Structures are given as structure tokens and as C-alpha cells.
Amino acid sequence: MAKDKTPEHKAPKKAETSEIAAPEAASIQAQGQNAPAPGIQVIAQYIKDLSFENPNAPESLVAGWPQPETNVQIFLRHAQIREDAYECTVNFRIEAKKPGEDSKVSFLVDLSYGALVLLKNVPKENHAPVVMVEVPKLLFPFAREIIANATAQGGFPPLYLTPISFEQIYMNEVKRQMDQQRAAGG
């Protein structure tokens, strides 16, 4: 029986131990080996509401209108269903208008995209940032695709929204609430 003369290529062996920085290692030891990690479980994702309006068609599609000026508004909502479950929605209102004096509407998109999520092993004090930042980050790519498809099916080039800083939206909301509390108290 002839032996294959192809040289053997061995993958480098992985180290049996992993390197963890001292503060992280101490934290892991303090929590114990069996401490469950925090996480988000998405139970369901869904379109709660979707509306696409093309009020000036076919003129807006065939009359050589320039690229529309687009205004995007984003609203975040969440409702606690039970202690560890939330319904989170990302709401978009997009209005595209013909630039110029008449400012006719090219199209309108209203989308409310939601999810039912379970927060597993997340401390109660971290629920708000998770449902206002992390869950919208998970939902955004799906909502972005729905909006792009709706505008394309409406006869326009697909509108791909640029990434959004949900962290900044959350920080602005926290600041707004603190300002309201100061104004009410003083």
C-alpha cells in the first residue's frame, strides 16, 4: 500500500490556559465559577405599525425631481411586561421633501418596530440603559432594512439609514429628565 507523500500541516496548538488581566481575574473569582452571565433574550421581533405614503406619485417619480431632503425622527419606547420582560419599540418618522420653494412631499415612512425581550441576570439598576441602548442596537438593522425595502417598493432608491448612536439618545433623555427634576424642585 503506497503512502501519500503530501507533507503534513499541523495547526499550532492553542494554549491550555487563558490570560486574564488581574482585575478581571479577581472579579471572576469573586463572582464564583457558576455565576450566570447577564444577557438579553429576544422572544419575538415584529412590525407594530408600518406606513408608506407617496402622495405626489407619479409626478415625484417621473418629473425629474432632485434628491429629496430627508428628515428622520427617532423615538424609543419601552414598557415593562413583568419583572424581567420588556416590550421595546424603535419608532421612525421619515419625511422626504422636494428641495426648493414648493417643498412637495416625496414620501413619508412611519415605522414602529418592536421586540419582546427578557433580561437575564441583569441588575435592576441596569434595566433602563439595556432597554434604551442595547435592545435598539439589536433592532436597528432590521428596521433599517424594512425602511430601505419600503422606499424601494415605493419607486424610490432604497433609503439606508446611517448608524445611530443610541447611547447619545439615552444620555440626552437622562439629561432632559434631570433638568426637569431640577426645574420642578427649584
Q: What is the pLDDT of residues 128-178, one digit of tens each?
A: 999 999 999 999 999 999 999 999 999 999 999 999 999 999 999 899 989
What beta strand segments (E) does 85-139 contain?
85-97, 105-120
pLDDT on residue 4: 43
Instruction: Please check whether residue 115 is in contact with residue 101, taking contact to mean a CB–CB distance below 8 angstroms.
Output: no
* Across 1-10, 43-52, 101-110, least confident range: 1-10
Q: Name the nearest CA neighbour of 164 among 84, 99, 72, 101.
A: 72
Q: Predicted confidence band at 99 (pLDDT cuts at 50, 70, 90)?
A: confident
User: Which fold is adopted by the domain 37-160?
Assistant: Bacterial Protein-export protein SecB (3.10.420)
Element (H, E) at 129: helix 127-129
- Reduced to 3 states (helix: H, G, I; strand: E, B; else coil), residue 180 is helix
Alpha-carbon distance of 97 to 103, in angstroms, equals 6
Domain boundaries, the chain: 37-160
Helix (H, G, I), strand (E, B) or coil at 170: helix
Measured distance CA(168)–CA(40) in Å, rounded = 21
Rg (CA), the chain: 25
Residue 21: pLDDT above 50? no
What size, in residues, is the chain?
186
Report the chain's terminal Cα–Cα distance, integer Å.
93
Say what the pLDDT of residue 6 is.
39
pTM for this predicted structure? 0.75
Whole-number Å distance between alpha carbons of 138 and 158: 21
Range ranked top by mean pLDDT from 60-74, 148-162, 172-186: 148-162
The answer to whether 123 touches 31, Cβ cutoff 8 Å, is no
